[in-house]
Structure 1
Amino acid sequence: MSLVNVRKIKLDIEEVWHEGGARLQEPLKVAVATAIVANPYAGRYESDLLPFMAELRALGATLSAQLVDQLGGAAQVQAYGKGAIVGEDGELEHGAVWHEAGGWAMREALGNPKAMVPSAKTIGGAGTRLMIPLGHIQASYVRSHYGTCETTVWDGPRRNEIAFALAMATGGRVHARLGGLAACEIKGLDGLR
């Protein structure tokens, strides 16, 4: 029997046309896919979380494919992030399984970019809002692509569930103008610059 039991998946897409400056020719698109999954370890301590993490890779691949499709293909994606909200009968470590499972899946769907996948996790109940950090997929020091997006599901996670979320965006902040390493200057050797 599988350790991964999905109750529902929610897909959110934002189009940002401006932040007070000139209207863009094409909007920045930010998409978040969130799955509400039963927590197989709710209410008890489990020393070996690796089987759950391994099985979550398939869910990560599904969510990644949905995001890539909604944003017009992998070539359109410039930023990514991930997050988890663990219901109250779980522990933060149950959300940490998403670091590898979700991050691995996004990297594979995007052609194995170099930069780390920014992450956030928390413990919370139904309707908890989590701000997911975003960063450039090839270089962590691209300041224009530091951003956030939100995940929330009105009826989840319940006490014995976990909300696992992946996020992708077609660019950085609209009207970014604070200097630093520009996306066009990325060397892409180590995930930093």
Structure 2
Amino acid sequence: MNLRKIVTIVEEIVSEGGRPVDPAARVAIVAAVIDNPWAGEGFVDDLAPGIEATASDLGALLAPRVIEALGAPIEAYGKAGIVGLNGEIEHGSALIHTLKFGDHFRRAANATTLLPAVEKRATAGTLFDIPLKHITDQTIRSHHQSVEVRIPDAPHPNEIVIALAGAAQGRPQQRLAPLASEQ
């Protein structure tokens, strides 16, 4: 894995809807900007060697950094794979949709659900939303949220941005009835 940079973003919402949020709602995002292991090779039939060489190391790098940046137990989480224009969306998917990557974050967060994800091909500086869901019950509505991310100089055409996000709570001031109330 050729790593160019790591970006950490921490958001604290202290007021929502004109009312204080106490404690502040915290979300942390940690993104790695790496060389795309398949860029410049044309169509690659077997992505497994690149997955094997990269995915676990990325998960091991990012998961503890999100936990540390958040500074609180994670209740909601998600992931992203944003591929530069010389790659394929499948390249980002290959790295984030494997247990070799995701299990690092699941273990660190004591989670059991699948990580919701966004993947896309884009130019440097693109905006992307990382969807978040509850770590043990994806039907808990309060934790269905997303966080917007932008890295001004990434991904370059031959790079991939791989990111993990964690929230210490659901949406600030959430007040929707539980899903069970509609069933």
Question: TM-score surpassing 0.5?
Answer: yes
Instruction: Report the equivalent of 1:34.
Output: 31
- Quote the Cα distance in structure 2 between the aligned partners of 1:177 and 1:94: 38
**Could you tell me which of 124, 147, 150 is aligned with 1:149?**
147
Give the Å deviation of 1:25: 2.3
- Quote the Cα distance in structure 1 between the aligned partners of 2:49 and 2:135: 27
Retained in 2: the 8 A contact 1:34–1:151? Answer: no
**Could you tell me which of 63, 88, 91 is aligned with 2:88?**
91
Retained in 2: the 8 A contact 1:102–1:166? Answer: no
Q: How does 1:16-55 map to 2 (within 5 A)?
A: 16-43=13-40, 44-54=42-52, 55=54
Instruction: Report the equivalent of 1:6.
Output: 3
Instruction: Report the equivalent of 1:178.
Output: 176
Question: Does 32-41 or 54-63 show the bigger shift?
Answer: 54-63
C-alpha RMSD of matched pairs (Å): 1.5
Question: Does 160-169 or 100-109 show the bigger shift?
Answer: 100-109
- Quote the Cα distance in structure 1 between the aligned partners of 2:137 and 2:156: 36
Q: How does 1:72-87 map to 2 (within 5 A)?
A: 72-73=71-72, 76-87=73-84
1:135 aligns to 2:143 (yes or no): no
Instruction: Report the equivalent of 2:116.
Output: 118
- Quote the Cα distance in structure 1 between the aligned partners of 2:17 and 2:132: 21
Instruction: Kindly provide the amino acid, as one letter, of the partner of residue 67 in structure 1.
Output: V
Give the Å deviation of 1:52: 2.0
Identity %: 39
Instruction: Kindly provide the amino acid, as one letter, of the partner of residue 102 in structure 2.
Output: G
Name the count of aligned residue pairs.
176
- Quote the Cα distance in structure 2 between the aligned partners of 1:152 and 1:105: 24
- Quote the Cα distance in structure 1 between the aligned partners of 2:18 and 2:143: 17
Deviation string 1:138-160 (CA, Å, 9 cap, x unpaired) is 00100000000122211110100
Retained in 1: the 8 A contact 2:8–2:69? Answer: no
- Quote the Cα distance in structure 2 between the aligned partners of 1:120 and 1:180: 25
